[in-house]
Structure 1
Amino acid sequence: MMQTYKTGNSIDPGAMPPEFRSPVDPLAEAVSFIRRHLRIMLLTFFVTIGAALLYLVAAVPTFTAAAKLVIDAKAPPTDAASASTMVESQIAIIKSEGLARVVIRKLGLAEDPEFGGRTGGLRGIIRPISRLVGLSKPETEFSVMRRALQSFDRKLSTRRLGLTYIVEMTFDSTDPERAAQILNTVAETHIAAQMEAKFKSGLRDEKWVKDRMTELNGQASAAQKAVVEYQTVDAGKPSSQSTAKMQGDLRELEATAETSAKAYDNFLRMLRYMEAQQQSSNVEAHLLIEASRPLEASSPKVVIVLGISIVGGVLLGIAIGMLRDLLGRGIRISGDDATASSVVILQQGEAAVANQNHAPAAMSPLRR
């Protein structure tokens, strides 16, 4: 029969109270963990570092050019909300599709492979094949322009610098010279469009004002002339021949002349007020800092990529080591349970055999 013996001095480490554990036990466990899984941790570390290096070698560097516009208002807004609205309006105009179309046509970006042009790159190989097999339709000027607009919008960024009237613009490109050229063209196009819109608006307003002034002046002059002519005709007649009807007509002409003169004067006053308001609320954008060729690539960032790969490799190695410990502990527990079950079965079998051996001796007096 198998028997298990346990010495009186044997102590189960797991049954020890927490206060009796040595302070260096966690450090010893950590060192033991590293020793057990050093190979897998090193392998994971070098794999992540290798993947990061491959990414840095294969990734196409992107350069970011920056420029700044200052929003010049003749009379600053009275509250922060008005100022924010004014600056945000300028940002919306810079990011508008109309301005992007002008820049794309001016620089021929629709045919540039970086903006999804017809030629170059992997897409230039896949698209003709897909058209041959009928998977896609032939490209049109509209589709080419839409693709260029989408790429242009992703690469162009604008933001307000704090609470100032300065708008910072950035543009990403694989060519640093191209990035600066496109961004300067965006700024120049925006400023030129504002000046042209202001000039056209001024011409339309000037024409309307001239026409309206001529009309009101003519009405006032005609009414005054009618009064003078009527008074001159009426002066040659005796006063006894003046009838009530003629006096009523004269009063009506005088009222019309007075109304026309007041309308002309009111229009002149309103015109001067509108001109003052327009001059005080006029908003213009000026190029504060011109975009120049960026010296370093903005992405990929080598330090950040390597840092993430190092931290990720260490954490992944630790996670794999912990998983291996958990799996190994589960297998050991299963094995211990099976061994214990076998011992119990053997002990039960031995007990049954012993009972059978003692049974005849107990029954012998009955036989007698």
Structure 2
Amino acid sequence: MLQTNGTDNWVSRDNMPPEFRPGPAVSLAEVLAVLAFIRRNLFTMSLTCFAGLGIAILYLVTAVPTFTAKAQLLVNTKVTLVDSAAVSTVVESQIAIIKSESIASAVIEKLGLAQDPEFATGQVSGMISRLLGWSKPKTEANAARYAVEPFERKLSAKRIGPTYLVEITFDSRNPDRAAQILNAVAEKYITHQMDKASLQDEKWVTDRLNELSIQALAAEKALKDYDRNNKTKDAADSADTRDRLAAGAESAKNAYDNFRHVLRKTEATQQQSPPVFEASLVTGASPPLGASSPKPRIVLGIAIVGGLLLGIAIGMLRDLSDRIRTSGQKACPSAEDGRIERPLPDGIRPDHQFEPSAKAKPVRLTGSG
């Protein structure tokens, strides 16, 4: 029978592949050391945790909440773009327009945000620079420009995935104010795109068309009135006057017809000229129901973890100082009552007893006789 030796089948830990090697085991002594450390510093860690919680609660009570309103815009184009890079460029360009200074200035002027204290706070550095003469003094004329910077900090826009959707948000201390400002931003952006796409001003076109129509009707009416009132007169005497009125009526009618023809041609050119961007509001902004910051759970969690780590650090420093003190006491000579113990010679040390000499022989005393 073939027998195998058990030692031949034994695989050393060093010879095992790295993925099959067992990890380092935690000894019982290490576990007991950790438990002993926690027991020694339990009061300190508890104290630092409660201190962190107190600071966090004080911050949550005194902090001014911030509300974030959200809205979604659809940036569309009449030309289908197949290249994803081109689509990304188009959407990023529209995001830059949304966050531009022109849109911010229009909203600030419409809602009167230049006088809002929320957009005037946090400008201590600007006040100092104005006092030192590094910038122009703030007046009613340029107050709107000073409000643009805090307005742009509160406004953000980002693309939602690989789509034409853009999410815009605005932060404010007042939830109703945040929604109002965000809806105004969306309105100004859409109006800006519509004004940019149109090549003619609608009001001017309507007024000009009405003016030419009135002129044509007036010239035609004048010609008819002249023919009706001059039937009994000599035709040769009124030929020049009638020809002049007929030419005026024809000219007015041609001007009206030509303007309508140019207007229709312009509209057709606008419909065929790529790309024309259009934007629409998918989801309007509503007043948020809860504050976006500060978040109590995150603040309290950070306070607890920070307090616990601080307590552990204090305990480790305390243990380290105790070890240094103990090692210093062992290394330095001891002193009691101002006396320094000096090492004694080996012959008179207490721990060295006199050993009987191996050559010494016992003495026997004998009596005489």
Global fold match (TM > 0.5): yes
Superposition TM-score, scaled by structure 1 size: 0.63
Instruction: Tell me what 2:166 maps to.
Output: 167
Instruction: Tell me, in whole angstroms, the C-alpha distance in 2 between the residues paired with 1:143 and 1:351.
Output: 96
Report 1:287-366 matches (<5 A): 287-339=281-333, 346-347=342-343, 350=345
Q: Report how far residue 275 of structure 1 moved.
A: 5.2
Is the alpha carbon distance of 1:48 and 1:272 closer, same or farther for their aligned partners in structure 2, counting shifts above 3 Å? closer
Segments of 4+ in structure 1 off by > 4 A?
A: 133-138, 271-277, 351-354
Does residue 77 (structure 1) correspond to residue 117 (structure 2)? The answer is: no
Q: Report how far residue 78 of structure 1 moved.
A: 2.3
Q: Report how far residue 294 of structure 1 moved.
A: 0.2
1:27-82, Cα deviation, whole Å (9 max, x unpaired): 22122112211221111111111010011001100000000000121122121111
Instruction: Tell me what 1:252 maps to.
Output: none
Instruction: Tell me, in whole angstroms, the C-alpha distance in 1 between the residues paired with 2:174 and 2:342.
Output: 81
Report 1:18-37 matches (<5 A): 23-37=27-41
Aligned partners of 1:116 and 1:144 also within 8 Å: no
Amino acid of the residue matched to residue 34 of structure 1? I
More off after superposition, 310-319 vs 25-34: 25-34
Q: Report how far residue 95 of structure 1 moved.
A: 0.4
Aligned partners of 2:176 and 2:287 also within 8 Å: yes
Q: Percent identity?
A: 49
Report 1:41-52 matches (<5 A): 41-52=45-56
Instruction: Tell me, in whole angstroms, the C-alpha distance in 2 between the residues paired with 1:288 and 1:85.
Output: 21
Amino acid of the residue matched to residue 198 of structure 1? A
Aligned partners of 2:109 and 2:144 also within 8 Å: no
Instruction: Tell me what 1:99 maps to.
Output: 103
1:225-273, Cα deviation, whole Å (9 max, x unpaired): xxxxxxxxxxxxxxxxxxxxxxxxxxxxxxxxxxxxxxxxxxxxxx999
Does residue 184 (structure 1) correspond to residue 183 (structure 2)? The answer is: yes
Q: Report how far residue 350 of structure 1 moved.
A: 3.4
Q: Report how far residue 24 of structure 1 moved.
A: 2.5
Is the alpha carbon distance of 1:87 and 1:329 closer, same or farther for their aligned partners in structure 2, counting shifts above 3 Å? same
Amino acid of the residue matched to residue 98 of structure 2? I
Aligned length: 260
- Corresponding residue SS for 1:346: coil
Aligned partners of 2:333 and 2:341 also within 8 Å: no
Superposition TM-score, scaled by structure 2 size: 0.62
Instruction: Tell me what 1:56 maps to.
Output: 60
Report 1:182-331 matches (<5 A): 182-199=181-198, 201-202=199-200, 277-278=272-273, 280-331=274-325
Instruction: Tell me, in whole angstroms, the C-alpha distance in 2 between the residues paired with 1:202 and 1:104.
Output: 27
Is the alpha carbon distance of 1:36 and 1:149 closer, same or farther for their aligned partners in structure 2, counting shifts above 3 Å? same
- Corresponding residue SS for 1:77: coil
Bigger proportion of residues as helix: 1
- Corresponding residue SS for 1:299: coil
Q: What do you get for the CA RMSD once the two structures are aligned?
A: 3.8
Unaligned runs of 5+ in 1: 1-20, 208-270, 355-368
